[in-house]
Amino acid sequence: MATTDTTTLPTIADVDAAAKRIAGVAIRTPLINSPVLDLATGARIFLKCETLQRTGSFKFRGAYNKISQIAPEKRAAGVVAYSSGNHAQGVAAAARLCNMPAVIVMPSDAPKPKRDRTAALGAEVVLYDRDREDRAAIARGIVAQLGATLVPPFDDPMIIAGQGTAGREIMEDLEAQGVRPDLAVIGASGGGLAAGITLALKARVPDLAVWTAEPEGFDDTARSFRSGQRERNPRMSGTICDALMTETPGVITWEINRRLIGQGVFASDDEVGRAVAFAFRELKLVVEPGGAIGLAALLAGKVDIKGKVVIAVLSGGNVDPELFNRLIAA
């Protein structure tokens, strides 16, 4: 099986550098523990609330780490990204902070609040059909036309390192409490969040067990772990987790995750919906379905966590209001 040149893989030093770069720009989000959640699961669970991050998801971390390093002579041409919404907003916000124009390729079925917020942040939004068109190809065409810099959603060392800063913060906060984690469950789509956070966590706890969590029917990462090669999802729509419908794991993210993680689970839309409702009722947090995938896996008992100290990430809170109302009322 072909592998990626290890010189392209980000290191913990890259995560540390990213932490300095985003300090004072990104929000240091809280790590919370809920007695109600602990009682419901039989574990001691710590949730990283990236729902409270700038633009409402972890994506701002990687986007700013990448965009802030673009050479001054290349900034006038701007940046181009493709995203279902969270990376779109992160890139738009980071580009605005760096005084750069941004063009974002978004699926036409992306939640309207995500499209509207991306445009409100100053980006030009280009819509495409998720089932029939190739977003990466569209973005590459725009890059060639404008001479802009492509900011990938996950498969980029600087993006991964930026997402890893969330894991660095998790470990700093746990160490301050004298707590050593046993296990982590991290949502995966292209795998950038899982790769970055796991890189940071295992730098301090090498024997930590890590699982990815994905929507049912879109568990390409878990299937890749089982087969030993990058698998693809059979379709590109059909789950309420709109943020987690990437076709296949990234090349770089897969190389990291196959080495450091190696196991994954999935949750159904019903299980995700219950997790969204639980977060609202018990944690007083608004979490989008894709952002609740790790919590859903824990609440549904997909991983044996009894008596363990567990980390999970609430990765985003940009949920369509109508969908959110249906989920919390169900």
Looking at the DSSP assignment, which residues form a beta bridge with residue 278?
none
Q: Which residues, 6+ apart, have CB-to-CB distance to 285 below 8 Å?
A: 49, 51, 279, 314, 317
The phi and psi torsions of 20 (rounded to 5 degrees) equal: -70, -35
What is the reported pLDDT for 32? 98
For residue 7, the model assigns a pLDDT of 60
pLDDT for residue 6:
57
Question: How far does the chain reach from its first CA to its final CA, in angstroms?
Answer: 46
* 90 touches 118 (CB < 8 A): no
Q: Which residues contact 274 (CB under 8 A, 6 or more apart)?
A: 296, 299, 300, 330
Assigned CATH for 6-57+157-329: 3.40.50.1100
Coil, helix or strand for 182? coil
> What is the rounded radius of gyration, in angstroms, for the C-alpha atoms of the chain?
18
pTM here? 0.95
Q: What amino acid occupies position 33?
A: N
The β-bridge partners of 153 are none
CA dihedral for 298, 189, 215, 31, sign (positive or negative): positive
pLDDT at position 306 is: 98
Q: Do domains 6-57+157-329 and 60-150 have the same CATH topology?
A: yes
- Assigned fold of 60-150: Rossmann fold (3.40.50)
Question: Chain-centre distance of CA 183, in angstroms?
Answer: 18
Given 3-state DSSP classes, what are the helix, strand and coil percentages for the chain, each rounded to the nearest 5?
50, 15, 35
Q: Which residue has the tokens 């049912």?
A: 216
**Domain residue ranges of the chain, discontinuous segments joined by +:** 6-57+157-329, 60-150
Structure confidence at residue 330 (pLDDT):
87
- Within 8 A by CB and 6+ apart from 57, the residues are 50, 51, 86, 89, 90, 243, 291, 315, 316, 317, 318
Q: Which residue's structure tokens are 């030993």? A: 228
Q: Which helix (H) or strand (E) holds 195?
A: helix 192-204
pLDDT of residue 1: 42
- In angstroms, what CA-CA distances link 91 with 116, 153, 328? 14, 9, 30
Would you write out the chain's pLDDT as a tens digit for each of its 330 residues? 444 555 689 999 999 999 999 999 999 999 999 999 999 999 999 999 999 999 999 999 999 999 999 999 999 999 999 998 899 999 999 999 999 999 999 999 888 888 999 999 999 999 999 888 999 999 999 999 999 999 999 999 999 999 999 999 999 999 999 999 999 999 999 999 999 999 999 999 999 999 999 999 999 999 999 999 999 999 888 999 999 999 999 999 999 999 999 999 999 999 999 999 999 999 999 999 999 999 999 999 999 999 999 999 999 999 999 999 999 998
Residue 294: predicted pLDDT: 98
